Amino acid sequence: MTNPEWINRFLQYLRIEKGVAENTVESYRHDLTMYCEHLGRLDVLQVQPTDVSRFLKFLYGRKLKPRSATRAFAAVRGLHKFLIIEGATSENPTSTVEQPRWWKPLPNVLVLEEVDRLLAAPDLATARGLRDRAMLEVLYATGLRVSELAGLDLDAVDRQARVVRVLGKGGKERMVPYGAPAARALDAYLDRRATARGAVFVNRRGGRLSVRSIHTIVRRAARAAGVTRRVSPHTLRHTFATHLLDRGADLRVIQELLGHSRLSTTQRYTHVSMAQLLKTYEAAHPRAAGSASPRQ
């Protein structure tokens, strides 16, 4: 089977078996066609890690936007995993190739004053406001993924111990604590609920809030709080991790709380903290770049 034939087969697999959106499939087609052209006569089944690295350098040379470059790497990695699923090979040349750090954009993080305004935005005189406040508090207090929050059930919340049991990626379970402000907001919301079973966060009909609805609620609160930049549930996850790191939390503790399988994923937050450190230094130090007084 030729390289283009393998690519078509992989894209059909994504479309039919994985239900991947058509626009994503077409984007992958573009990326993998570029990969195929870069490989030339080299059979995709014979690709080595050095070949993948050369392709990454090729992409870097084209000065792609970080999102486009990351997607291209994901497409290549997905193709080689598919070849293993199909039994065409037992080797994945992308498994030892790490995505370059310069393709990983720094997370969008809120400052504490913005967090305070965001959490205070819901109207606590309404049932919806109590729910939204509790949801925002839990997101910031735990750093849960939006899918984890949407899937959170009442029996997974220990209100006395202030801990939630989360089922993360790959079915990995972890326990995440939350603080007193989140506990107060969650208690105020749950004490008005008529049932002690089912989903924690529900809509007006009592059904589980969808991931999309949670995104909408977070955006609505951000607008009400006057936060002009884009805010999503993932923003609160990034903010949770960065604020912990800024206040001295161990990186491995943050890794466990976030449910990251690799420490390298968590280490991206050290770059955020360093950026904030440099910004503060340059603003405050009298002899920082651009602020030094003239010699006497």
Confidence at residue 287, expressed as pLDDT on a 0 to 100 scale: 64
Confidence of residue 18 (pLDDT cuts 50, 70, 90): confident
Which helix or strand (DSSP H or E) is residue 166 part of? strand 163-167
Q: Position 287: which residue type?
A: R
Q: Would you call 237 a catalytic residue per the annotation? A: yes
Domains of the chain plus CATH, in order, are 3-103 (1.10.150.130), 112-280 (1.10.443.10)
Note the pTM of the prediction, 2 decimals.
Answer: 0.60
Q: Would you call 269 a catalytic residue per the annotation? A: yes
**pLDDT beyond 90 at 100:** no
pLDDT mean across residues, the chain: 86
Of 12-16, 187-191, 234-238, 285-289, minimum mean pLDDT range? 285-289
Q: Would you call 60 a catalytic residue per the annotation? A: no
- 125 phi, psi to nearest 5 deg: -80, -5
Q: Residues 53, 55, 59, CA angle at the centre, nearest 5°?
A: 115
Confidence at residue 281, expressed as pLDDT on a 0 to 100 scale: 60
What tokens appear for 291 in the block? 């602020």
Each residue's pLDDT tens digit, 112-134? 999 999 999 999 999 999 999 99
Confidence at residue 218, expressed as pLDDT on a 0 to 100 scale: 97
Closest to 218 (Cα-Cα) out of 137, 292, 153, 156: 137
Q: Position 77: which residue type?
A: R
**Residue range 85-106: mean pLDDT, rounded:** 79
Under 8 Å between Cβ of 121 and 224:
yes
CA 122 to chain centre: 24
Q: Which of 71, 131, 243, 260 is catalytic?
A: 260
Q: Would you call 169 a catalytic residue per the annotation? A: yes
**pLDDT beyond 50 at 296:** no
Q: Which of 131, 133, 145, 238 is catalytic?
A: 145
Q: Which of 128, 169, 192, 223 is catalytic?
A: 169
Q: Would you call 215 a catalytic residue per the annotation? A: no
Q: Which of 35, 140, 178, 269 is catalytic?
A: 269
